[in-house]
Structure formats: structure tokens, C-alpha cells
Amino acid sequence: MSACSLFTKDELRPFIRSRFLDQLPAEEHRFGANGSACTYAGVIIQLDPFAFSVIQSTWGKEKGNFEAVPGVGDAAYFHRNTRAEAAEIAFRVGQRVFTAQLDLEDGESMDSARTRAIGLARAAAAKLR
């Protein structure tokens, strides 16, 4: 399974607010032995990009912008990426690792984007179980 095969655009629609979602094609990139990324207007999804411990060690350095998210996969974290104005989420199901970076839309709060990111992660976790 690749990152672009995980969701259709219709399945992403509840989580993505970009008005360009239907106008721009998804772009897939492969990396490493099994990793892939899929770029849509408003979100980048990665599947098996690197070990889950990388998330913990990198995002965990930003106290106050990093939090555990219970009930998503075997372990999940949300990251307020204020530099990129994006909501990031990552989770692990077994050995599978999923990450997503959702763009904040004009005037959108990080809390609103957090809700969308967690919803997207829950949908992805259900597919990866």
C-alpha cells in the first residue's frame, strides 16, 4: 500500500479545506525501502517514512507544541508546527507509520486544524489495522 492509495479525494474532503483539492492532482513520491508520500492541495501524507522513534525525538523537543493523542493507533502524537503554519499528526499501528501535515487555512486556528488532523489519523488507522 502506498500513501496515495490510502485515500480517495472524496475520503479526504472532510479533513482538507483547500479549495484546490479537486483542481490539482495528487503527487506521489517513493523513498526508502517501503516509504511513500502523497501530496494533495492542503495536505501531505506519508506512509512508512521513517521509524516512529524519529517523531518522538524530533517533535518531543518542542515542549508545548507536542502532545500524545490517545485512541489513535498504537501510539500517536500531534505537533503544532508554527514555523510551517501546519498541524502535524503521526501514529503507529504495529510497524506501520503514518504522518500527515495539514495546512492551516486563512484565519483557521490551530485547534480547528488539530481536530481535522486527528480525524484524518483515525480514518487512516482504521485502514491500516
Report the topology of domain 3-128.
Protein Transport Mog1p; Chain A (3.40.1000)
Kindly give the confidence (pLDDT) of every residue in the chain, 129 residues in length, as a single tens digit, with 9 standing for 90 and above: 899 999 999 999 999 988 898 999 999 999 888 899 999 999 999 999 989 999 888 888 887 888 999 999 999 999 999 888 899 999 999 999 999 999 998 889 999 999 999 999 999 999 998
Rounded distance between C-alpha atoms, residue 88 and residue 118, angstroms: 9
Q: What is the pLDDT of residue 106?
A: 85
Rounded distance between C-alpha atoms, residue 23 and residue 114, angstroms: 25
Domain boundaries defined on the chain? 3-128
Q: What is the pLDDT of residue 78?
A: 96
| Inter-residue contact 121 to 98 (CB < 8 Å) | yes
